[in-house]
Amino acid sequence: MTEFKAHGGVRGGFDDEAEDPPMRAWTREEAQALRARHPPVSPWWVVAAQVAIGAVVAALAWLISGEMQVVWSALYGAATVVAPGALMARGMTSRLSSVSVGASAVSVMSWSMVKIGVSVLMLLLAPRIVQPLSWPALLTALVLCMQTYWLALLWRGR
């Protein structure tokens, strides 16, 4: 049966606070060993992978359809992911975003909003920029380039 703590919370059948080991600061060597075991994935690596996937999708569009309008639509779909991603990568890797934890959090939120805004704007402008537009080619390239983030997570897991 559960008991109520003095501050109004619920406590299970064991004392959580007694089970926690004491906290200690890591040494420089321990922190370096952790970084060596789990290296961060560069956002520029992700952007480069998106460019490569976009090029492959455009080449496949050319091989399958043989029509340049499909190729341009696929390239524009890839650009709808790559350009905002590059903007965010640039903003996230600037010196200003690494000044403090608070600045880094604000930078992530701000650049995420910029990325979403630019992506939506590019999608809205697609019918005016790429004529005639092949929505299936555009959306295929867009979705495949967005899936690159999963590849980055899998790569990091190795």
Tell me the domain boundaries of the chain. 3-35, 43-157
Q: Give the length of the chain.
A: 158
What local confidence, expressed as pLDDT, does residue 104 receive?
A: 82
- DSSP alpha helices (H): ranges in the chain? 16-19, 28-37, 43-65, 68-92, 101-129, 135-146, 148-157
Q: Does the pLDDT at position 147 exceed 80?
A: yes
- CA distances to 9, 55, 103, 116, 147 from 93, rounded to whole Å, are 42, 25, 12, 18, 22
What local confidence, expressed as pLDDT, does residue 49 receive?
A: 92
Q: Does the pLDDT at position 56 exceed 80?
A: yes
* 51 DSSP 8-state letter: H
- Across 37-55, average pLDDT: 88
The position carrying tokens 């600061």 is: 25
State phi, psi for 96 to the nearest 5 degrees. -65, -35
Indicate the pLDDT class of residue 157, thresholds 50, 70 and 90: low
Q: 10 pairs with which residues across the strands?
A: 4
The position carrying tokens 């010196």 is: 95
| Cα gap 84→108, rounded to integer Å | 13
Q: Name 4's Cβ contacts closer than 8 Å, sequence gap at least 6.
A: 10, 11
